[in-house]
Amino acid sequence: MCSNDMWVWSTWVKTPLLKGRDLVIASACLRFINNDVLEKLGRGKVVLFACPEREHPALYGKIASIIRSSKPRTITVVTVDGSPHCFQLHAAVNEAEYILGEKIDKKHYVVVDGKELHEISPDAVRVARYLHLVERLVKENPKILEELKKHSLEYIQSIM
């Protein structure tokens, strides 16, 4: 059930459409970047769009309320890789799980360069919040910056 008008922030947490369903929380822009990925992941699920750039930043509270009130079967998060705003959706679902103190059957995905779908572990999302750990990983594996160069215009500009 891929609806263009269901937004995390604008959806009542107890709406019957969410009760016991499989949910996809997706970057709002993804439908314009790679709608095929969105259709594939959203098939048979309720899709809720979110954009931390345009919506309130306290998505974790809203997502926790949805989980508590509607008891979704699963949650899949899919965003555009490299977006600092989209990253917040992944962190918000992990944070909602923490707030509630219960395990949630969830998956995290990113779309790399608008094309490739990659599954991301919840631990990768957690590590990304701790920049001193990311710094350690970069120092231990400096070749990762060559990979970053393939994806980040910001990084390319910074080294020129």
Domain that holds residue 154: 130-160
What's the pTM value of the predicted model, to 2 decimals?
0.92
Which amino acid is present at 53?
E
**Same domain membership, residue 103 and residue 154:** no
Residues whose CB is less than 8 angstroms from the CB of residue 118 and which lie 6 or more positions away in sequence, other chains included: 81, 109, 110, 111, 112
Nearest to 151 by CA among 60, 63, 83, 75: 83
**Same domain membership, residue 159 and residue 80:** no
**Same domain membership, residue 160 and residue 91:** no
**Same domain membership, residue 88 and residue 63:** yes
**Same domain membership, residue 5 and residue 28:** yes
Cα angle for residues 105, 109, 111 (degrees, 5° grid): 165
pLDDT band, residue 3 (cuts 50/70/90): very low
pLDDT band, residue 36 (cuts 50/70/90): very high
Domain CATH for 110: 3.40.50
Nearest to 111 by CA among 138, 136, 142, 76: 76
